[in-house]
């Protein structure tokens, strides 16, 4: 379990980076803050494209930034949208590459919910299946 202070920090950072979202097509701004076991927090926001399929979610931007910094172990990710938002299916699968983590969802009105990734993506496809 992450501490109350870590949670507070993740919520603050996800709300803050959300402001940088580039989402002119959906107008749905999402911010994500990912806490690595190292204690560092990696942020990401969604950015869209005129070719709609080329856009990317906030969660995968944050994870990509963490991976690029050499991180491989994570504790929690917080996601903040125009409304309460849970990671989409692709983001759930992407996050499931690593150990199970806490998922915190929040909005600008102070609402919060918390899940384990494994509870919102049961039976994920995992690397062990590649060798089965």
Return the active site residues: 59
| Contact between 13 and 35 (Cβ < 8 Å) | no
59 binds ligand THU (CB under 6 A): yes
Binding of ligand THU at residue 78 (CB under 6 A)?
A: no
* Choice from 57, 63, 77, 78 touching ligand THU (CB under 6 A): 57
Residue 62 lies near ligand THU (rule: CB under 6 A): no
Q: Which stretch binds ligand THU (CB under 6 A): 3-11, 35-43, 86-94, 123-131?
A: 86-94
Give the residue, chosen from 9, 12, 16, 55, that forms a contact with ligand THU under the rule CB under 6 A: 55
Backbone phi, then psi, for 80, in 5-degree steps? Answer: -125, 125
- Cα angle vertex 99, ends 72, 61, to 5°? 55
Please name which of 33, 125, 131 lies closest in space to residue 79, comparing C-alpha atoms.
Answer: 33
The binder of ligand THU chosen from 34, 35, 91, 101 (CB under 6 A): 91
Closest CB 31 distance from ligand THU, rounded Å: 8
Q: For the window 96-115, what string marks contact with ligand THU as x by the rule CB under 6 A? A: --------------------
What are the residues whose beta carbons fall under 8 Å from the beta carbon of 112, sequence distance 6 or more?
11, 104, 105, 106
Query: In angstroms, rounded to a whole number, what is the distance separating the alpha carbons of residues 37 and 30?
Result: 23
CA angle 45, 83, 37 (to 5 degrees): 50
Contact predicate 46/29, CB 8 Å: yes
Residues that bind ligand THU (CB under 6 A): 23, 26, 28, 30, 46, 48, 55, 57-59, 79, 85, 87-88, 91
């Amino acid at each position: 379990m992450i501490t109350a202070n870590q949670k507070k920090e993740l919520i603050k950072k996800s709300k803050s980076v959300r402001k940088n979202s580039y989402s002119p097509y959906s107008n749905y701004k999402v911010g994500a803050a990912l806490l690595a076991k190292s204690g560092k927090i990696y942020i990401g926001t969604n950015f869209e494209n005129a070719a709609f399929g080329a856009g990317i979610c906030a969660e995968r931007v944050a994870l990509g930034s963490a991976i690029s910094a050499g991180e491989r172990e994570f504790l929690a990710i917080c996601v903040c949208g125009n409304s309460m938002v849970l990671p989409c299916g692709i983001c759930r699968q992407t996050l499931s590459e690593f150990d199970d983590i806490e998922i915190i969802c929040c909005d600008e009105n102070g609402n919060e919910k918390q899940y384990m990734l494994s509870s919102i993506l049961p039976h994920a496809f995992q690397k062990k299946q590649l060798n089965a």
